[in-house]
Amino acid sequence: MASRLRSLIGAIAWTTMTGLSAAQTGIPKGTQLSPGRVTAGAGNFIVIGCVSRAEQSTPPVFVITDSRPKPPARYRLEGDTDLLRLHVGHTVEIGGPITPAADARGGATGSAPTLTVQSLTYISRTCVKLQ
């Protein structure tokens, strides 16, 4: 009987500690996309910045503003709109290839280049200006 009680108490303590550490990370479950985590190079880029919705259009257009370079860099995001919608106003790290902006004739325009989201890592629920 005492052995069973000790096992039960141990199981409860382990479950509580595991749940606490997962809850303290602050990362909402199901709001990250990191299949193998993209690394810079070989055509992939890493951008850290604030996600926002560019305009009230259908389908929605999301952008990320990386405040590390001077002037800040802005990229149009192409990826899962439901996932991106969850991160509006958040600071995230996004990895993937960048496609330069082009007009209908194939020339460069003043619009933002497109970053295809292959990985997304949540950093903060607020947008912070990174130095």
Model confidence pLDDT, tens digit, residues 73-112: 999 999 999 999 999 999 999 999 999 987 555 544 468 9
Within a domain: 116: yes
- Is residue 50 within 8 A of residue 90, CB to CB? The reply is yes
Nearest Cα to 87, choosing from 43, 54, 120, 130?
120
Which strand (E) or helix (H) includes residue 12? helix 2-23
Domain that holds residue 61: 28-124
Within a domain: 4: no
Within a domain: 73: yes
Residue 19: predicted pLDDT: 46
The C-alpha atoms of residue 95 and residue 34 are separated, in whole angstroms, by 9
Within a domain: 8: no
Q: What is the CATH number of the domain that holds 109?
A: 2.40.50
Within a domain: 98: yes
Nearest Cα to 73, choosing from 103, 115, 109, 108?
115
Number of residues written out for the chain? 131
Residue 29: predicted pLDDT: 52
Within a domain: 13: no
The number of folded domains in the chain is 1
- Is residue 46 within 8 A of residue 84, CB to CB? The reply is no
Within a domain: 14: no
pLDDT tens digit string along 8-60? 455 555 544 544 344 444 555 555 666 556 777 778 899 999 999 987 777 88
Residue 18: predicted pLDDT: 46
Within a domain: 5: no
Residue 1: predicted pLDDT: 63
